Structures are given as structure tokens and as C-alpha cells.
């Protein structure tokens, strides 16, 4: 069964506005990345207690901690980043969600394979810290990281071979790498897909567009997942107003446009 979620910080930096819009749209989960202009890992204990109280009061749950773990250069210091990862696990447990979104480190363009061993060592270190804790790391394909194309994503999953490492499949991010997501990536990665980011993009100019309006083959992806019996989250990450290396923004109206586009696709495949 598909469950809708979304990056509520694409609506507004203000938590109450985020929750108002999610409520109006009938979305009962959010992927927690930012509140009050802060990344989730920057929130103090008092702040996360306030967030949880607001969420509980609205009946909205956290689908994943949208951490920036792995979104540093492969040669950047790793120790402080490991501390951030420990905080991400604490937050996942505090918000009673199993999933932590993460990445596989920025590598010099055109030289990803040269850094393979360093990437695997760092990812293995993260998994070692996660062992025995009730969390699953969701690797998101992202342009310019090691796992930005299907072949290298598969390499990560097969090499590390951990039930605590699965995939967030992001169609638009594959498009930004010149990959047709469904045709070139789905069959290779389908056994690892646990979570999907809903955004679409155009190959020609790398512009992000609502689901179904670009080259992301989102409809084909959803139909295949439905046929396979996928039971997980479709998380709206529209990036319709701005898109950057560490996030994007849409605003309330464009977030609604993105939500409606997704629901239209779901209706087309009889969900």
C-alpha cells in the first residue's frame, strides 16, 4: 500500500504552517528535514520535544529522518559526521520512525570509481554504528555522490549486503544524471527499494517539474511498484520553486500542485 508523506519544509519554515497544509491536503506523515530554518540535526532537545508535541496534537507521524548524512565530500573529516549520525539515530528513535535518509558522499566528477573503497569503508562504519538499533538507512541516489547512477547504487547494496541498508528511489535525481529511471534503474534496484521520493525532471534542461510531467517515468515506476505489492512511503519533494544541493522549496500552493499531480497518477493506475 502506498502511504503519502512529504518534505514539509518545502511548504514553509514554520512548523504550524507545515502541519496546516499537510492537514488540508490529507497527508498524515512528513519526512522531517527542517523546521524554523534549521536542519533536523541542528534542533536541540527542547525543540524536538516541541516538534513531537505539535505532531502528536495533529495526528501526523514522521516517515523518515531526512538527514544530510553522507552529503559531504569523500575526503572531508568523517569523525564529526559520525557524531551527526548518532544524533540522527537518536531522532529516529525519539520520533518512532525506522528510516534515516542518507547519501554516499560527494566524489570528484568523473572519478567516482577511484573512491569506491573509501565510500564503502565509510558506509560500513555507519552500518556498524546502526547495528542492533531499530533503524534502516535509506540511501538516496543524488547527483555527484558515489551512488548517483543505478550501477553504483547496486554496487553499494551488494557490497555491504545489510538488511539495515535499503534505497530511497528518486526519479528526478536519476534524470539529473542523464538516466531514465524506470527503463535503466528499476529492474536493477527493485529488490532494495523501500521508499520513493516523488519529484520529476526534464532531461533537456534539468528542470524539476510535477510528477508525470517530465522524463522521470514516475507513472511507470508507480505501476510497477503497485504490481509488485510495494508497501511503503511516497514522499513528496517537489522542488518546484527552488532546488539546491541541500534542499528545495515549493511553498503551499506549489506543494498542493505537486500533491495533486501525484494523486492523478495514482488514479491512472487505479490506486
pLDDT tens profile 231-240: 999 999 987 7
pLDDT at 240: 73
Identify the burial level of 211 via C-beta atoms within 10 angstroms of its C-beta, where 0-12 means exposed, 13-18 middle and 19 or more buried: buried
Residues spanned by the domain of 30: 2-268
Q: What are the pLDDT digits (tens) for 35-72? A: 999 999 999 999 999 999 999 999 999 999 999 999 99
For residues 54 and 62, the answer to whether their CB atoms sit within 8 Å is: no
The answer, yes or no, to whether residue 249 has pLDDT greater than 60, is: no
Q: What is the pTM of this model?
A: 0.95
Split into its structural domains, the chain has a count of 1
Query: Helices marked H in the chain — which ranges?
Result: 15-25, 45-58, 79-94, 116-130, 150-160, 171-176, 187-189, 218-228, 251-268
Q: What are the pLDDT digits (tens) for 135-165? A: 999 999 999 999 999 999 999 999 999 999 9
Identify the burial level of 204 via C-beta atoms within 10 angstroms of its C-beta, where 0-12 means exposed, 13-18 middle and 19 or more buried: exposed
CATH number for the domain spanning 167: value is 3.20.20.150
Backbone dihedral region for residue 178 (phi beyond 0: left; psi -120 to 50: alpha; all else: beta): left
Name the pLDDT band for 246 (thresholds 50, 70, 90). very low
| DSSP letter for each residue of 165-203 | EEEEE-HHHHHHTT--IIIIIIHHHTTTEEEEEE-EE-T
Identify the burial level of 220 via C-beta atoms within 10 angstroms of its C-beta, where 0-12 means exposed, 13-18 middle and 19 or more buried: middle
Q: What is the DSSP letter of 97?
A: -
Residue count (the chain): 271
pLDDT at 250: 66
Can you say whether the dihedral through the CA atoms of 174, 84, 67, 207 is positive or negative? Answer: negative
pLDDT at 115: 98
47-56, 92-101, 240-249 — which is least confidently predicted? Answer: 240-249
Name the pLDDT band for 131 (thresholds 50, 70, 90). very high
**In whole numbers, what is the pLDDT of the chain averaged over residues?**
95
The three grid cell numbers given for residue 222, joined into one nine-digit string: 508507480
Amino acid at each position: 500500500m502506498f502511504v503519502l508523506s512529504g518534505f514539509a519544509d518545502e511548504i514553509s519554515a514554520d512548523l504550524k504552517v507545515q502541519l496546516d497544509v499537510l492537514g488540508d491536503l490529507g497527508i498524515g506523515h512528513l519526512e522531517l528535514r527542517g523546521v524554523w530554518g534549521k536542519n533536523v540535526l541542528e534542533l536541540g532537545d527542547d525543540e524536538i520535544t516541541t516538534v513531537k508535541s505539535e505532531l502528536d496534537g495533529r495526528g501526523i507521524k514522521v516517515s523518515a529522518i531526512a538527514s544530510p548524512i553522507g552529503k559531504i565530500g569523500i575526503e572531508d573529516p568523517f569523525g564529526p559526521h559520525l557524531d551527526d549520525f548518532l544524533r540522527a539515530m537518536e531522532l529516529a528513535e525519539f520520533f518512532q520512525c525506522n528510516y534515516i535518509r542518507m547519501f554516499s558522499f560527494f566524489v570528484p566528477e568523473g572519478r567516482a570509481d577511484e573512491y569506491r573503497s573509501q565510500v564503502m569503508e565509510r558506509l560500513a562504519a555507519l552500518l556498524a554504528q546502526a547495528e542492533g538499533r531499530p533503524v534502516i538507512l535509506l540511501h538516496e541516489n543524488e547527483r555527484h555522490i558515489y551512488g548517483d547512477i543505478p550501477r553504483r547504487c547496486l554496487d553499494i547494496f551488494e557490497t555491504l549486503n545489510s538488511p539495515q541498508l535499503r534505497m530511497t528511489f528518486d526519479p528526478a535525481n536519476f534524470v539529473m544524471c542523464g538516466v531514465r529511471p524506470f527503463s535503466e534503474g528499476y529492474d536493477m534496484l527493485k529488490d532494495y527499494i523501500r521508499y520513493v521520493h516523488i519529484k520529476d525532471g526534464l532531461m533537456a534542461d534539468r528542470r524539476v517539474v510535477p510528477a508525470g510531467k517530465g522524463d522521470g517515468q514516475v507513472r511507470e515506476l508507480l505501476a510497477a511498484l503497485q504490481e509488485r505489492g510495494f508497501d511503503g512511503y511516497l514522499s513528496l519533494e517537489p522542488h518546484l520553486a527552488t532546488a539546491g544541493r541541500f534542499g528545495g522549496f515549493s511553498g503551499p500552493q506549489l506543494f498542493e500542485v505537486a500533491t495533486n499531480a501525484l494523486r492523478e497518477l495514482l488514479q491512472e493506475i487505479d490506486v
